[in-house]
Chains A and B, each alone.
Chain A
Amino acid sequence: MPAPGSGELQLSIEGLVKRYPGSEQNAVDGVSLGVHAGEIFGLLGPNGAGKTSTISVAATRARPTAGRVTLAGVDVVAHGSLARRRLGVVTQVNTLDRSLSVGENLYFHCRFFGLSRREAKQRSSDLLEHFDLAHRRHDRVDRLSGGLAQRAQLARALAHRPSVLFLDEPTAWLDPQSRLALWELIRNLRERERLAVVLTTHSMDEADRLCDRVAIMDHGRILVCDTPEALKRSVATAATVELRLKAPPSPRLFQQLEALHGVEGVLAEENRVKVLTSARDGLVPQLIAKVGSGLLDLSVSETTLENVFISLTGRKLRD
């Protein structure tokens, strides 16, 4: 993994505030961050945390209420058109042009960015090859599966050779296999093209395994920002304890577990109980004592980013 900060600073956000007209509170409430060439930066947070709003401002699609965003040295508010030449976006929903074929989507995107007809033809052919879409070039885009559509969106976002790539929940709708494939493509972009990649996600797993650095966001603010390893180290005592019981837990047992010091949440699915903890020391013996003879099996998972989030906010990410 390349050390963060090894490349040139490509995206700088300083004190960003975004409040939508008619809203009582800030969707983005004082966010600052920097992303470098060759880095995959993750914005991790629950729905409504302000992830999309943050990248919308950076991608010139929303006006900031306060703060400053520069992208490859260009102020995105003062020079929106210029900034758009330096950035590519894969949006949360599929925004491929339904009136055009897959190939035409790429071709016209290239032309929008000033490539000549010949250059645009060449570039879109290359992209179709590289993203393994050549056999679908004449297809209508609404015939594409989720994974293919996402690949086509990625190809389109890269067609004009941006230096910063924004991916808004790129794998949210994908099956596990397509998700892994897309991760691989994104890693390649970081290595080969030295792109600065900013992606939003509400998947702990994705943030952990794909990102070089992660900023955990909630209510428009960044709570912490570091490498996944460092974040997990910071809450070393946090973990998830899984209990397998003889029978589903009684409501009383449920309450008793929840009341233990260091327990942040209890989830039950039939006879399996997940206990999310923030301070684990000495907790396992207490759990065993409470459950008593009903216990079949017990396992303690490694610290995850979910534990980090819980210890920071006192609640689960997926609410």
Chain B
Amino acid sequence: MTETPTATTLSESGAHGGAQHRYGNLRAEQWRIISASFAALIARDLRVLMHMPSTFLLRTVLNPLMFVFVFTYLYPHIGAARFGQIAGQSLATVALPGLVASAIFFQGLTAVALPLSMEFGATREIEDRVMAPVPYALAAAAKVCFSALQSLLAAAIVFPLVYLIPATPIHIQIASWSTLVLAAVMGSLLAGFLGLLLGTVVEIRKISIVFAVAVVPLTFLGCVYYPWASLHAVRWVQIVVLANPLVYLSEALRAALTPTLPHMATWASLPTLTVLTVAIAWAATKTFTRRVLA
């Protein structure tokens, strides 16, 4: 290990000549360590993931695979080809952006919330990572960054799956790359921070029940299998689902991938997604810090 200037030089430096220079070195050294530490925190999560890649794959693929297989492959074959059609488009086309959105969303949520609540539990395994020589918020940010990468990877896996399996024609055109990228990245971060919030607030005993109870309504009322605009027919539902962050992600992806289908205007979905991400990031960082610093 390269010998770093001791802290004593920091407190003494003001009094001596040439101290400015040494203080500068110390600052540079501190920055080097912060970035190295941040990278190492991500590397640790990557290593853990590589120990059991199958869990990542299963939780990413299973849900969309079963859905597409039953509703867009089996259904047409058993004579229900029109099931779920909207504006003359097959269910496969309607649901593709939604399935990608929910893959992003739940990947991020699970990748952060489940391990975190465990590591905050009886074993306090989080301890060594919060003792890393970086501000506590950065340890949390590293966790979210890595989960966001997993979310994007999940999207990249689910997309071809949902595109290739259906027995009915599927119509995708990328109307706007920038909307696609922005929505995917923002949605990944939002999911990660929401996972951080849940993981720091919900006790380990309750986390699985929270997930069991939350996932189904969030998905079914997340405009995954139908566009938000089509809910116009049942006005109160259309308003209630606006509380679900997944709606904005599904709709932003819909705007980017299936522009001919009805979708929420991007001037509404993208800014809302951003505001939600910032708000949840702020709250989650606060609860994380409160949880680690007694």
Q: Is B47 an interface residue (CB 8 A)?
A: yes
A63 at the interface (CB under 8 A from B): yes
**Partner among A60, A99, A111, A123 whose Cβ is within 8 Å of the Cβ of B51:** A99
Nearest neighbor of B38 in chain A, beta-carbon distance: A112
User: What is the 8 Å Cβ interface bit string for chain B, positions 46-79, against chain A (1 contact, 0 not)?
Assistant: 0110010000000000000000000000000000
Q: Is A172 an interface position by the 8 A CB rule?
A: no
A131 at the interface (CB under 8 A from B): no
B130 contact set on A, CB distance < 8 A? 61
Q: Which of B11, B41, B43, B131 has the most CB of A within 10 A?
A: B131
How many Å from the CB of B22 to the closest CB on chain A? 14
B124 near A73 with CB under 8 A, answer no
Which residues A66-103 have CB closer than 8 A to chain B?
71-74, 79-86, 89, 91, 93-100
Chain B, residues 126-160, CB within 8 Å of chain A (1/0): the string is 11111111110000000000000000000000000
Are B7 and A84 in contact (CB-based, < 8 A)? no
Cβ of B174 to closest chain A Cβ, rounded Å? 38
Q: A73, B10: Cβ atoms under 8 Å?
A: yes
Check: B44 CB closer than 8 A to any chain A CB: yes
Instruction: Among A82, A93, A111, point to the contact of B10 (Cβ < 8 A).
Output: A82
Q: CB-CB < 8 A to A91: which residues of B?
A: 124, 127
**B21 located at the interface, meaning its Cβ lies under 8 Å from any Cβ of chain A in the complex:** no
Quick check: B10 and A61 within 8 Å, CB to CB? no
Of residues A73, A93, A97, which shows the largest number of chain B Cβ atoms within 10 Å of its Cβ?
A: A97
For residue A149, give the distance in angstroms from its CB to the closest CB of chain B: 11
Task: Tell me the complex Cα distance, A133–B12, Å.
Answer: 40
B209 on the A face (CB < 8 A): no
- Specify the chain B residue showing the minimal Cβ separation from A86: B7
Any chain B CB within 8 A of the CB of A108?
yes
Is the CB–CB distance between B125 and A97 below 8 Å?
yes
Q: Is A156 an interface residue (CB 8 A)?
A: yes
Complex Cα distance, B1 from A123, in Å, reads: 9
| Given contacts A82-B30, A99-B48, A161-B1, A73 and B7 within 8 Å (CB-CB) | yes
Whether a CB of chain A sits under 8 angstroms from the CB of B178 is no
**Across the interface, do A113 and B132 meet the contact criterion of CB distance under 8 Å?**
yes
Contact between B47 and A108, CB atoms less than 8 A apart: yes
Cβ–Cβ contact B36 & A56, under 8 A: no
Which of A59, A63, A81, A91 counts the most B-chain CB atoms under 10 A from its CB? A81
B33–A80 CB distance below 8 A? no
Number of interface residues of B (CB under 8 A): 40
Q: What 0/1 readout, one digit per residue, does chain B (242-275) give for beta carbons within 8 Å of chain A?
A: 0000000000000000000000000000000000
Interface range for A? 35 or more
A119 contacts the other chain (CB 8 A)? yes
Contact mask A150-164 → B, CB, 8 Å, 1/0?
000000100011000
| A114 nearest CB across to chain B (Å) | 4
Residue A218 interfacial (CB < 8 Å): no
CA distance A146 to B57 in the complex (A): 35
Chain A nearest CB: distance from B35 CB in Å? Answer: 9
Q: Are A81 and B133 in contact (CB under 8 A)?
A: yes
Do A95 and B133 touch across chains, with their CB atoms under 8 A apart? no
Chain B residues with CB under 8 A of A100: 44, 47-48
- Cβ–Cβ contact B128 & A81, under 8 A: no
One of A59, A81, A94, A96 near B134 (C-beta < 8 A): A81
Chain B positions within 8 Å of A20 at CB level: 294
Is residue B173 contacting chain A, with contact meaning CB distance below 8 A?
no
CA distance A86 to B44 in the complex (A): 22
Which residues of B are found within 8 Å of A115, using beta-carbon distances?
A: 1, 36
Please indicate the chain B residues that have their CB under 8 angstroms from the CB of A99 in the complex. Answer: 48, 51, 115, 125
Bound-state CA distance A68–B160 (Å) is: 59
B293–A85 touching, CB < 8 Å: no
Whether the pair A112, B128 counts as a contact (CB closer than 8 A) is yes
- Tell me, in angstroms, the Cα distance from A180 to B132 when the chains sit together: 30
Contact B7 A72 (CB under 8 A): yes
Partner of B124, one of A95, A108, A109, A119: A95
Chain B min CB distance to A233 (Å): 36
Contact A62 B293 (CB under 8 A): yes
Task: State the Cβ distance, A42 to closest chain B Cβ, in Å.
Answer: 22
CA distance A108 to B130 in the complex (A): 13
Which of B11, B30, B40, B130 gathers most chain A CB within 10 Å? Answer: B40
Query: Is there an interface contact between A95 and B7, defined as CB atoms closer than 8 Å?
Result: no
Contacts of A89 in B (CB 8 A): 127, 131
Q: Which residues of A contact B30 (CB under 8 A)?
A: 81-82
Contact of A29 with B by CB under 8 A: no
Chain A residue, CB-CB nearest to B130: A61
- A/B interface sample: 9 pairs, CB < 8 A: A60-B131, A62-B294, A91-B127, A95-B125, A100-B47, A108-B40, A111-B44, A113-B132, A115-B1
Given contacts A79-B10, A114-B32, A115-B36, list 5 more A-B pairs with CB under 8 A.
Answer: A61-B130, A62-B293, A93-B123, A112-B132, A114-B33
